[in-house]
Structure formats: structure tokens, C-alpha cells
């Protein structure tokens, strides 16, 4: 039987064979194997495996991962988009190097574009869960230098910078969403987001400069940020932090549009006047409100479009309708030139309507109806 012994980087194998005459001859041979080469071979084999072989996929629901290969290599300024499509409404969590970056609840699709400043090897994971089970998948991204970094000799070594961040307390961030688009001069650039707990559906603008690939970060907050010193005047639906990941765009944007949605149930339960809904941006001088317009109402959401002059901290607010008075006195002054009422109708009597036909002094009728209203609102307990 074969037996072997490992010494350093050499594997020695000794084979025993028998000749027909019964004489035993020992044959010794050596196979030199570089373990570094061996490990590299294993990694390359894993890299060629399909995603379904890497992820842990149940058969209770269908999931599509993109890209469909496990390892991607590209420049830092051309980061790939990793996406998930699920056949059933699910919760989707995104991790970069085992750090939770964003969570999406009750969605069918979600995407993630890494925003990194240094070259290196990075792990991206997506966890999908619903009532039928849990699915996860892992990709590896090899981030290489951009041409400018190669010329300057910069950006060597690992480490990451997850785009420009607000520095918000992690516990106050409900959802974090990052999208990337190429920004051309004088062209409309659109960033689309996919529902969940993020009320922002679309962000678009024109830039007066060529900025290349630009990430936009949205953080939906649980409560008002500690960086904001004043609460808005009206009822708050949510707080949102929006910022492009390239400071070159500061004061270079125009024709900005923000499309967002509000849960119709919140409007109804809070008795909000839809016409009073505003998008507000915080600055040193306080909250500045921008007008909104209703686009549509569908699937239990009311969708609005608004604008802004800059990005930063935003609040979406609405003003509650004033409660109408229970009792209103209506006096019909028309039809009688002599100053008397030919027919009066008053609200506030015991049966809700008081009607009288005939002539009566207007002032006397008004005083009488007010007296009845006072008695109704202030009953005397016997």
C-alpha cells in the first residue's frame, strides 16, 4: 500500500510493488509540490465556480444573484454592482468584509455598489430571508488602481472608505443606500432607489462639470440627527441624509429633482393635509422648505416630487388638518329687504337642525340660536 511523509515543501511517496516471482521491490519517487502554487490553484478553482455553488440556497423560493460569477476584478472607479432578485418579498442585508452596511425590508430586489478609496480584496455578502427560509451569497471583488493612482503611485494597500458619511450614530441609521452613476457635464444624471424603508425613489440633477463615477449615499434615520439643532415646525414623517460622494459637485448642480413617497396610512392616521407636505433641508439658519407636487397615489403610497438647492439633512413633513367645529351657526341674510328672515336654518339645536318659517328679527334669531348652542355645550346636571 502507498504511504507518504511530508517534509517541508516536498511530499515523498514510497510505492511497494510485487514481481510475479514473489520478490518485493521498493520503488521510491518524489513529487515536488509548492504549497503556494497549490493554494493558488485552489483559489482559482473556487473563482470559476458558479455563484450557486458558493451560496447557500434553499429550494423554497427563487433567487437570482448578479454577477453570476464569484470573483470580480475592476478599477476602483468602476466598481461593479451586486444585485439580488427574489421571487417573494424578503428582507435583504448587505455586508462588506463582514460589516453590515444596509438593510432592506419587504423588498423583491436590492443592489449594492462598493464605494472604496484603496485597492485590495473585498468580500461582499447578501443575506435574504423570508417566511420560507434564508439564502445567502458571497462575492469577492479585487479592486485595482485607477489610472491617476497609478501615475501618482497612490492608493496602495487594503482598507476601505464607504463613501462620504454623515458620521451618524450607527444605532440611529434605519437604512443606508448607496448608488453610483457616471456624471457628465450638462447631462441629466438619475439615481434610482428601490423602496423598502427608504422613502426616496429618484434623485436627478444636471452638473456643470464632468465628475466621472459618483456615488450618492442616502441614510434614513430613526430620529433627528444630533447634527441638527432645531426640530421642524410640522409633523415629521422621516429624516433623511443625502450626499454625493464627490465634493467637486458642490455648487455645480442645477435642475435638481427629488421624488419620494409617503405611506397613505400615515397621512390618514395623522390627519395630514396632503397639500401641506414639504421637503425641508436643514442649514445653519434653520429648516428651508421646498414645495412639492403629488405625482400619483398607488399601492398605498402617495408619491411627490420636489427640488433642492443643496444636499445634506432633510425632513419630510406635513401639517395636520385643523379639526372642524362641531357646531356652526349659519344665518341666511338674503331675500328680505326689511331686515327680517323669511327662512332660517341653524345648526346646534337638540336634533342638530333648527328651522323656522316666518318673520323674526335677525339679531333676535342669532341670539336665540347662540343661547341654544351654549346650553347644549354646557348642560346643567340635575
Residue whose C-alpha cell reads 452613476 in the numeric block: 181
Contact 177, 218 (CB under 8 A): yes
In 3D space, the residue among 313, 107, 309, 82 whose CA is nearest the CA of residue 218 turns out to be 313
Whether the predicted pLDDT of 32 surpasses 60 = no
pLDDT of residue 367: 74
pLDDT of residue 18: 43
Using DSSP's 3-state secondary structure scheme, residue 297 falls into: strand
pLDDT above 70 covers what percent of the chain?
A: 66
Q: State the Cα–Cα distance between residues 84 and 110, nearest whole angstrom.
A: 5
pLDDT of residue 377: 62
pLDDT of residue 307: 94
pLDDT of residue 178: 87
Q: What is the mean pLDDT of residues 303-326?
A: 86
Q: What is the mean pLDDT of residues 70-87?
A: 88
Of 19 and 235, more confident:
235
pLDDT of residue 41: 57
Q: Which of 61-70, 141-150, 218-227, 354-363 has the lowest mean pLDDT?
A: 354-363
Confidence band, pLDDT 50/70/90 cuts, at residue 48: low
Instruction: At 41, give phi and psi (nearest 5°).
Output: -65, -40
Q: Where are the domains of the chain?
A: 3-45, 50-162, 164-323, 327-382
Task: Tell me 194's DSSP state.
Answer: -
Q: What is the mean pLDDT of the chain?
A: 75
Whether the predicted pLDDT of 328 surpasses 80 = no
pLDDT of residue 350: 42
Q: State the Cα–Cα distance between residues 307 and 277, nearest whole angstrom.
A: 13
pLDDT of residue 68: 85
If you count them, how many residues does the chain have? 382
Confidence band, pLDDT 50/70/90 cuts, at residue 369: confident
In 3D space, the residue among 75, 72, 77 whose CA is nearest the CA of residue 144 turns out to be 75
Per-residue pLDDT of 187-229, as tens digits, reads: 999 999 876 789 999 999 999 988 887 889 899 999 999 999 9
Domain 164-323 fold is: Chondroitinase Ac; Chain A, domain 3 (2.60.220)
Q: Which of 122-131, 162-171, 283-292 has the lowest mean pLDDT?
A: 162-171
Of 39 and 171, more confident:
171
Complete DSSP assignment for 216-232:
EEEEEESS--TT--S--
Q: State the Cα–Cα distance between residues 62 and 84, nearest whole angstrom.
A: 11
In 3D space, the residue among 366, 285, 272, 367 whose CA is nearest the CA of residue 319 turns out to be 272
Whether the predicted pLDDT of 37 surpasses 90 = no
Whether the predicted pLDDT of 173 surpasses 70 = yes
Q: State the Cα–Cα distance between residues 262 and 295, nearest whole angstrom.
A: 12
Query: Is the domain 50-162 a CATH 1.10.645.10 member?
Result: no
Q: What is the mean pLDDT of residues 306-315?
A: 94
Of 99 and 344, more confident:
99
Whether the predicted pLDDT of 237 surpasses 90 = yes
CA distances (Å), 230 to each of 21, 111, 235, 291, 310, in order? 100, 34, 13, 20, 18
Confidence band, pLDDT 50/70/90 cuts, at residue 150: low
Of 130 and 380, more confident:
130
Amino acid at each position: 500500500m502507498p504511504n507518504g511523509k511530508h517534509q517541508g515543501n516536498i511530499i515523498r511517496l514510497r510505492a511497494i510493488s510485487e514481481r510475479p516471482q514473489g520478490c518485493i521491490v521498493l520503488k521510491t519517487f518524489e513529487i515536488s509540490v509548492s504549497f503556494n502554487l497549490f493554494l493558488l490553484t485552489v483559489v482559482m478553482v473556487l473563482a470559476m465556480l458558479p455563484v450557486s455553488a458558493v451560496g447557500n440556497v434553499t429550494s423554497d423560493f427563487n433567487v437570482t444573484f448578479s454577477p453570476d460569477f464569484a470573483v470580480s476584478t475592476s478599477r476602483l472607479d468602476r466598481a461593479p454592482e451586486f444585485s439580488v432578485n427574489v421571487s417573494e418579498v424578503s428582507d435583504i442585508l448587505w455586508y462588506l468584509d463582514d460589516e453590515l452596511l444596509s438593510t432592506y425590508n419587504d423588498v423583491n430586489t436590492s443592489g449594492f455598489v462598493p464605494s472604496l478609496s484603496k485597492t485590495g480584496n473585498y468580500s461582499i455578502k447578501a443575506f435574504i430571508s423570508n417566511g420560507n427560509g434564508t439564502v445567502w451569497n458571497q462575492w469577492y471583488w479585487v479592486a485595482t488602481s485607477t489610472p491617476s493612482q497609478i501615475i501618482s503611485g497612490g492608493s496602495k494597500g487594503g482598507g476601505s472608505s464607504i463613501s462620504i458619511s454623515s458620521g451618524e450614530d450607527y444605532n440611529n441609521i434605519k437604512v443606508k443606500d448607496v448608488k453610483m452613476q457616471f456624471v457628465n457635464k450638462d447631462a441629466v444624471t438619475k439615481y434610482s432607489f428601490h423602496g423598502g424603508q427608504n422613502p426616496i425613489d429618484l434623485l436627478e440633477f444636471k452638473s456643470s462639470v464632468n465628475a466621472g463615477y459618483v456615488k450618492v449615499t442616502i441614510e434614513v434615520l430613526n430620529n433627528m440627527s444630533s447634527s441638527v439643532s432645531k426640530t421642524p415646525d410640522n409633523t415629521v414623517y422621516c429624516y433623511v441624509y443625502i450626499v454625493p460622494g464627490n465634493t467637486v459637485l458642490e455648487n455645480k448642480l442645477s435642475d435638481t429633482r427629488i421624488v419620494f413617497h409617503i405611506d397613505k396610512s400615515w397621512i390618514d392616521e395623522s390627519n395630514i393635509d396632503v397639500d401641506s407636505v414639504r421637503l425641508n433641508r436643514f442649514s445653519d439658519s434653520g429648516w428651508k422648505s421646498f414645495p412639492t407636487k403629488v405625482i400619483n397615489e398607488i399601492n398605498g403610497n402617495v408619491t411627490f416630487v420636489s427640488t433642492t438647492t443643496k444636499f445634506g439633512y432633510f425632513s419630510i413633513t406635513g401639517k395636520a388638518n385643523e379639526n372642524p367645529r362641531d357646531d356652526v351657526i349659519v344665518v341666511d341674510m338674503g331675500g328680505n329687504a326689511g331686515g327680517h328672515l323669511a327662512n332660517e336654518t341653524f345648526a346646534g339645536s337638540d336634533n342638530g337642525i333648527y328651522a323656522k318659517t316666518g318673520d323674526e328679527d335677525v339679531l333676535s334669531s342669532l341670539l336665540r340660536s347662540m343661547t341654544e348652542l351654549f346650553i347644549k355645550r354646557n348642560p346643567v346636571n340635575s
